[in-house]
Amino acid sequence: GACCSYRLRDALHPLWQSPLTIPGGTRQSPINIQWRDSVYDPFLKPLKISYDPTTCLHIWNNGYSFLVEFDDSTDRSIIIGGPLENQYRLKQFHFHWGAINDWGSEHTVDSKFYPAELHLVHWNAVEYPSFEDAVMEGNGLAVIGVFLKLGARHEGLQTLVDALPAVRHKDTVIEFDVFDPSCLIPSCPDYWTYAGSLTTPPLTESVTWIIKKKPIEVDEDQLEAFRMLLFTSDGEEEKRMVDNFRPLQPLMNRTVRSSFR
């Protein structure tokens, strides 16, 4: 009947043309982080980040976002500590953003959206032979989320922004051989952490999320540069790459822990 086709249509999000909900999913992402419901965990360690800027390889537009990918064949760029049992290798980072500044982040804090959100994706190379294998395992990935808010121009981000016109269309790539992504991570050590999933297909429940409490500041021109990218390939009818964030998912039986009181 009409109701069920409505539900089906609603579940096939235009951006992903695949089911937006995982049947039986119990730890999907993103979620709203209700600050007062998060639980301080004194046993959470500080997150230790050590990236080698020369592991940076290229920037490419994959049709969902723009990704900066790293050489993950050794342990030169890793994170360790925080909620993590092992060290995790940096694979790529990318962003999610809105058409306007009122929304764009994937996670929200007390139901507030930020205009954009950075995801630094790492995988458990101690226990699994490849990123693709780790993506299928409950403790396979660790993603650091950093909120972007409108404010002062971010000089470190600008080197990325300057490269974006070269990857305007889907499946374009340019070499990008030195970049230290730690310049995009706030110095404040405070974070929330919870067990979640990829927010793009295959939506597997393999991510330990580490969401930084403090946002970084970027300016309007830098956000506008993100919005100039295209979902579409060269020669296709242009569709601006905006609103590439997944809708909020139910918290279900999960607690968000904080590293701070």
Ligand X SMILES: O=C(O)Cc1ccc(OCc2ccccc2)cc1
Binding-site ranges for ligand X (CB under 6 A): 119, 121, 132, 135, 141, 143, 198-200, 202, 207
What DSSP character marks residue 250?
A: -
| Contact partner at residue 61 from ligand X, Zn ion, none, CB < 5 to 8 Å by partner kind | none
Q: Which residue is nearest to Zn ion (CB)?
A: 119
- Residue number with CB closer to Zn ion (91 or 119): 119
- Residue number with CB closer to ligand X (16 or 219): 16
- Residue number with CB closer to Zn ion (56 or 144): 144
The answer to whether 242 and 62 have CB atoms below 8 angstroms apart is no
- Residue number with CB closer to Zn ion (119 or 213): 119
Minimum CB separation from ligand X for residue 172, in Å?
A: 18
Which one, of 189, 185, 193, 203, lies nearest residue 246 by Cα? 203
| Contact partner at residue 167 from ligand X, Zn ion, none, CB < 5 to 8 Å by partner kind | none
Q: Where are the beta strands (DSSP E) in 15-76?
A: 32-33, 39-40, 47-50, 56-61, 66-70
- The reply to whether 107 sits near Zn ion by the rule CB under 5 A is no
Stretch in the footprint of Zn ion (CB under 5 A) among 66-74, 76-84, 119-127, 225-233: 119-127
| Contact partner at residue 135 from ligand X, Zn ion, none, CB < 5 to 8 Å by partner kind | ligand X
Minimum CB separation from Zn ion for residue 95, in Å?
A: 8
- Residue number with CB closer to Zn ion (46 or 201): 201
* Distance of alpha carbon 95 from alpha carbon 118, whole angstroms: 4
- Residue number with CB closer to ligand X (85 or 132): 132
* Distance of alpha carbon 170 from alpha carbon 117, whole angstroms: 20
Number of residues that bind Zn ion (CB under 5 A): 1
Minimum CB separation from ligand X for residue 138, in Å?
A: 14
- Residue number with CB closer to ligand X (14 or 235): 14
Instruction: Determine phi and psi for 245, rounding to 5 degrees.
Output: -120, 150
Cα-to-chain-centroid distance, residue 88? 15
| Burial class of 94 by CB neighbour count within 10 A (0 to 12, 13 to 18, 19+) | buried
Which one, of 93, 35, 96, 99, lies nearest residue 64 by Cα? 96
- The reply to whether 119 sits near Zn ion by the rule CB under 5 A is yes
Using CA atoms in the order 252, 94, 118, 139, what is the torsion angle rounded to 10 degrees?
Answer: 40
Stretch in the footprint of Zn ion (CB under 5 A) among 20-28, 52-60, 115-123, 217-225: 115-123
Bridge partners (DSSP) listed for residue 150:
218
In the chain, the amino acid numbered 112 is: K
Q: Which residue is nearest to ligand X (CB)?
A: 119
In the chain, the amino acid numbered 204 is: T
Q: Which stretches of the chain bind Zn ion, using CB under 5 A?
A: 119
